[in-house]
Structure 1
Amino acid sequence: MFSIIIPLYNKFAYIEKAVKSVLAQTFANFELIIVNDGSTDESVNVVQQFTDLRIRIINQPNLGVSSARNKGVNKANYDYIAFLDADDWWDKNFLEEMNRLKEQVPEAGIYGCNYFHVKNKQNKVSKVGLTEGFKSGYINYFETYSKTFAVPFNCSFVVVKKQVLLEYDGFNHNLKFGEDFDLWVRIALNSKIAYINKPLAYSNQDVDSNNRALGSKLWKPENHFIFNLDYLQAEEKTNPILKKLLDGLRVRALIRYRLAGLYKKETNVTLQTVDFSLQPKYYQRIYQWPIVIIRLYFLYKKLGSQLKQKLIKFQK
């Protein structure tokens, strides 16, 4: 059986679809814990309309998504935890397939699956860096992630043993962005990771940018995972695959900080840990060019993207 945890904060427009996708599961042995993280919109009213006895609503003041997930874990009755963000949804076979996977490879600490990347109402299967022909089984999380830098899984298409979550103290409350990666990497260093190469969940990128963790916000260094990887320094020295992944994430995440000229000290300190000789030429140039050239380049890309979106809407 599964305990499903949905953290909820002001997702009135999306939560109904998320809950319905859970209740439609072909594998019906679960409880659904919705942790209302101090919502100020009508989100709670929406979930209260569901009468399914498997649903529990837990209220707390707005303490953040990590706190909400951790509270759900602590209140869970079952040994396997499935997470779902309130603006994403599942295929009806998600739990059935994940249950089959954990029976096939019971020693894993984390179970993940492929997913649809939803953008402009179009569903595209994510190009996760799996080996050709891979169907299911154990993966090297660091190697898989570093091949394409498409996340293998996040909190909407993953199942984790409750015992493992408790052992690693769950999600870091201080992190507002990348708190899931921070937890996955800690677990992956010591536990097996299992995966099924079927798109069984939908990662909704059409959510209003103001209502997403990514959005346009540049998080303070203490709140962004990329500035808080010092605890992995020793591992990076002996694990080249981990080093490749972390450096790749660093150069991708810090471009916007450099463009904005914010947190220069923290950004430079983090970039000094990167082995640029192993980075693609694109990122080597981005960090070598004068800042004015970089800004013009990204302005051009932004205008091109806006034009493309207008053309798509016109064609519809």
Structure 2
Amino acid sequence: MFSVVIPLYNKASYVEKAVESVLCQTFSDFELIVVNDGSTDSSVEKLARFTDDRLKLINQSNTGVSGARNKGVKHARFDYIAFLDADDWWHERFLEEMNALITQFSDAGLYGSNYFVVKNGVNTPAQVGVEAGFEMGYINYFKVYARTFWVPLNCSFVVVKKSVFEQEKGFNEHLRFGEDLDLWIRIALTHKVGYVNKFLANSNQDAETTNRALGTDKFWNKKEHVTFNISHLADQEQTQPNLKTLLDGLRVRSLVAYRLNDWYPEEVRAIMSRVDLSAQPLFYRFVYQWPRPIINVYFRAKQYGSYLKQMLLRRFYSYVHAR
């Protein structure tokens, strides 16, 4: 039924929990393919204790997460591909619920569930923009995403029909930021998306930032960043308002660091010229319309204020404990 694909690169601290969450699923008709993408830590050694014959390890030189996922799908035997990152984990009923969703809504090419965000060890329910009272069914991916800008799908709580994945030629291996968004958009433009509004996965934000695509210190080459590579969707944006709303919102959110640091200024200005900033939150209008020196002063002051607040809190707690 399911081929589960885990791309693995230097996740020794987390991969055991990810694998355990798959092998402990209540739905047992699956294979688990771990693609070791040239790890240099003890990630592979951590897998040695697992003897379940449903687990298959594939080793390759480092190609990036998209190449690892694509390699896993090439080795998949089943009709549905479930992805899981090596630092995240599933609820034990994830595959069971996905099977029920697929059975009831078989016309979709892409499926997902709600999830928890794990930060500082605390589970916070994701605020995915489904309608109040929604339980299970088809969703408008663009509308749901744009309603709250909490991702409704990512590579740890998604199932893709293998034939659809192959039709779309998988993940774009040139992208290193937003490669999953790129694929979900391509699929959602031509296929239905099924969704179950249950919290069935955990997105681990406590993983080392050096091992994650997101971060305030991460700057991707424009050839690797999805926002610089979606101009081909211009025609669809004109005919699909929900797609336009989503992409404009993602443009202003994903390019803030580029604006502050004057990275690719001409390209950023060209992208923003296609965005109706009056429809964006006040913060983003400030970032993209005010002079950059003023914006940087604001962010430095905000950063200093945060530092000062933390310092005062530490001193306060030290004073309280000393009494």
Distance in 2 of aligned mates of 1:118 and 1:199: 12
Moved over 4 A (4+): 303-312
Q: 1:291 to 1:38 in 2, by over 3 A?
A: same
Distance in 2 of aligned mates of 1:95 and 1:301: 43
Q: Which residue of 2 aligns with 1:235?
A: 236
Q: Which residue of 1 aligns with 2:321?
A: none
Q: 1:115 to 1:305 in 2, by over 3 A?
A: farther
Aligned-residue offset at 1:24: 1.0
Q: 1:288 to 1:209 in 2, by over 3 A?
A: same
SS of residue paired to 2:113: strand
Q: Which residue of 2 aligns with 1:101?
A: 101
Q: Which residue of 2 aligns with 1:49?
A: 49
Distance in 2 of aligned mates of 1:177 and 1:25: 30
Within a 5 Å distance, the mapping from 1:1-316 to structure 2 comes to 1-215=1-215, 216-303=217-304
Distance in 1 of aligned mates of 2:310 and 2:187: 39
SS of residue paired to 2:289: coil
SS of residue paired to 2:170: coil
Aligned-residue offset at 1:272: 1.6
Distance in 2 of aligned mates of 1:298 and 1:92: 42
Distance in 2 of aligned mates of 1:306 and 1:24: 43
Q: Note the residue ranges of structure 1 that are not aligned, 5 or more in a row.
A: none
Report which stretch shifted further, 281-290 or 20-29: 281-290
Distance in 1 of aligned mates of 2:309 and 2:54: 44
Aligned-residue offset at 1:207: 1.1
Residue deviations 1:24-80 (CA, integer Å, cap 9, x gap): 111111100000001111101111221110000011110011111011111100000
TM-score, structure 1 as length reference:
0.96
Q: 1:113 to 1:122 in 2, by over 3 A?
A: same
Q: 1:165 to 1:307 in 2, by over 3 A?
A: farther
Distance in 2 of aligned mates of 1:226 and 1:308: 34
Q: Which amino acid aligns with 2:194?
A: A
TM-score, structure 2 as length reference:
0.94
Distance in 1 of aligned mates of 2:298 and 2:93: 43
Number of residue pairs aligned between Structure 1 and Structure 2: 315
Distance in 1 of aligned mates of 2:230 and 2:116: 29
Residue deviations 1:85-111 (CA, integer Å, cap 9, x gap): 000000111111111111110111011
Q: Which amino acid aligns with 2:45?
A: N
Report which stretch shifted further, 182-191 or 236-245: 236-245
Distance in 2 of aligned mates of 1:47 and 1:62: 18
Q: 1:135 to 1:309 in 2, by over 3 A?
A: farther
Q: Which amino acid aligns with 1:250?
A: R
SS of residue paired to 2:57: strand
Distance in 2 of aligned mates of 1:158 and 1:89: 12
Q: Which amino acid aligns with 1:181?
A: L
Question: Aligned residues: percent identity?
Answer: 58
Distance in 2 of aligned mates of 1:92 and 1:303: 43
Q: 1:182 to 1:285 in 2, by over 3 A?
A: same
Distance in 2 of aligned mates of 1:212 and 1:228: 21
Residue deviations 1:136-192 (CA, integer Å, cap 9, x gap): 100000000000000001000000100000000000010001000000000000100
SS of residue paired to 1:218: coil
Distance in 2 of aligned mates of 1:151 and 1:140: 13
Q: Note the residue ranges of structure 2 that are not aligned, 5 or more in a row.
A: 319-323
Distance in 2 of aligned mates of 1:299 and 1:175: 31
SS of residue paired to 2:223: helix
Q: 1:100 to 1:308 in 2, by over 3 A?
A: farther
SS of residue paired to 1:197: strand
Q: 1:15 to 1:169 in 2, by over 3 A?
A: same
Distance in 1 of aligned mates of 2:89 and 2:310: 24
Q: 1:222 to 1:97 in 2, by over 3 A?
A: same
Distance in 2 of aligned mates of 1:162 and 1:279: 37
Aligned-residue offset at 1:275: 1.7
Report which stretch shifted further, 44-53 or 104-113: 44-53
Q: 1:186 to 1:308 in 2, by over 3 A?
A: farther
Q: 1:89 to 1:128 in 2, by over 3 A?
A: same
Q: Which amino acid aligns with 1:49?
A: R
Distance in 2 of aligned mates of 1:151 and 1:98: 18
SS of residue paired to 2:63: coil
Q: Which amino acid aligns with 1:104?
A: Q
Q: Which amino acid aligns with 2:229?
A: N
Distance in 1 of aligned mates of 2:310 and 2:203: 19
Distance in 2 of aligned mates of 1:147 and 1:130: 8
